[in-house]
Amino acid sequence: MDRELAIDLIRNSGLDDAVDDLIGRLRPSIRIRTQAVHAEPLHDSSKFGGMPLVPSDFDWPSWDATGRLMSMRKTLENLKSRNPRSGSFPDKAIAKIDEKLKNPWKPLAFLAQLKLAEVTGITRELGLPQSGRLLFFADHEDGLSGFDPASRGSAQVIYVPERPDEGLARPPEFLSGNDRFPPCVLNFSLEQTLPIDGRSYGLDAHVWDGEGPYVQLIKELTGDDQCVHRAGGYAEEIQGAMELECQLVTNGIWCGDASGYQDPRRKLLEPGAGDWRLLLQLDSDDNLKWMWGDAGRLYFWIRQRDLAETDFSNVWCIEQCY
């Protein structure tokens, strides 16, 4: 859907007092739909799952999960001390963590390859480079607790410029079978997005009315599919807006409960939340055998200034589920 059609939908939404505000908030995105295939798709094409196309000197990304595992262990120990009747669950979970701590270095699972010429051929408004590829990796078992600063390194986005010495990557032998996903080819289409819950973005509260005209407008803009993969635009969040969480956690504040949002540093850091933008949203998807938590989604976020500098080293990933 192009911008002009989206504007027509807004003008005819019945939200007359908010028309100009809504038009100003429109953000383009690329809607991504998957199609399962029986063989690895063309090496340099966009795809989810399978294996990425990489240069000959490519190092498969990994991370040291020690900090995150210790953080999980501390949480379980606190649970056990606060609730003596919690049964055997904390002890069993702690024992599993202790076993993982014996070898905390883990290769990341390959999730997605975006061929940027294909993406920017749909729209250049996302600010992505026009050539090369973006590769998305993550530890979806232990790492994607976006509220914990100790998760840094558990999700990585690597920009790969085009080079002549390229070939399909060979994954590490110790990459778990649960971390290898069947390949899917991708179909792209342009869509225009608005915040799912406009109140999180300062939209006038009168616009939001349960199943009223704003919700209907969202459905007209982007459909009501259950599976929503998306590059750019607004996130279809499950547990609320994430920009402030990204800003606080990447500055070292643990946000696993309300204490992080009450941290005295919040006041200083909060203005930077507006710099965060959705880079890629990956939904649970049967075609890929993806199940993020309880039918949840992964959200890769990037600062606008980093995107402008083609710097993907500080991307932050958050998992949300129902």
β 62-64/316-320 pair status: unpaired
Domain annotation covers residue 71: no
Distances (CA, A) of 123 to 160, 171, 300: 20, 32, 19
pLDDT tens for the chain, 322 residues: list them. 999 999 999 999 988 888 999 999 999 999 999 999 988 877 789 999 999 999 999 999 999 999 999 999 998 998 888 887 666 778 899 999 999 999 999 999 999 999 999 999 999 999 999 999 999 999 988 878 899 999 999 999 999 998 888 899 988 888 888 899 999 999 999 999 999 877 777 776 666 666 688 889 999 999 888 899 999 999 999 999 999 999 999 999 999 999 999 999 999 999 999 999 999 999 999 999 999 989 999 999 999 999 999 999 999 999 999 8
Q: Residue 137: beta bridge partners?
A: 110, 156
Domain annotation covers residue 70: no
Domain annotation covers residue 75: no
Domain annotation covers residue 202: yes
Rounded to an integer, what distance in angstroms lies between the CA atom of residue 189 and that of residue 69?
A: 39
Q: Kindly calculate the radius of gyration of the chain based on its CA atoms and give it in whole angstroms.
A: 21
Contacts of 52 (CB under 8 A, 6+ apart): 110, 113, 133, 135, 160, 168, 169
Residue 48 burial (C-beta neighbours within 10 Å; 0-12, 13-18, 19+): buried
Select from 135, 136, 155, 133 the least CA-distant residue to 144: 155
Name the pTM for this structure. 0.94
Token readout for 82 is: 């606060």
180, amino acid identity: R
Instruction: List the domain range (segments joined by +) for residue 316.
Output: 3-65+104-320
> Sign of torsion, CA 207 210 216 219?
positive
Domain annotation covers residue 73: no
Rounded to an integer, what distance in angstroms lies between the CA atom of residue 104 and that of residue 193?
A: 40
Domain annotation covers residue 91: no
Domain annotation covers residue 188: yes
Helix (H) or strand (E) holding 199: none
pLDDT of residue 112: 98
Contact present, 243 and 263 (Cβ < 8 Å): no
Rounded to an integer, what distance in angstroms lies between the CA atom of residue 24 and that of residue 11?
A: 12
CATH of the domain at 28: 2.30.320.10
pLDDT of residue 145: 81
Distances (CA, A) of 270 to 44, 198, 267: 39, 18, 6
Select from 150, 189, 175, 141 the least CA-distant residue to 293: 141
Domain annotation covers residue 82: no
Question: What is the CB neighbour count within 10 angstroms for residue 190?
Answer: 15
Rounded to an integer, what distance in angstroms lies between the CA atom of residue 291 and that of residue 135?
A: 20
pLDDT of residue 318: 97
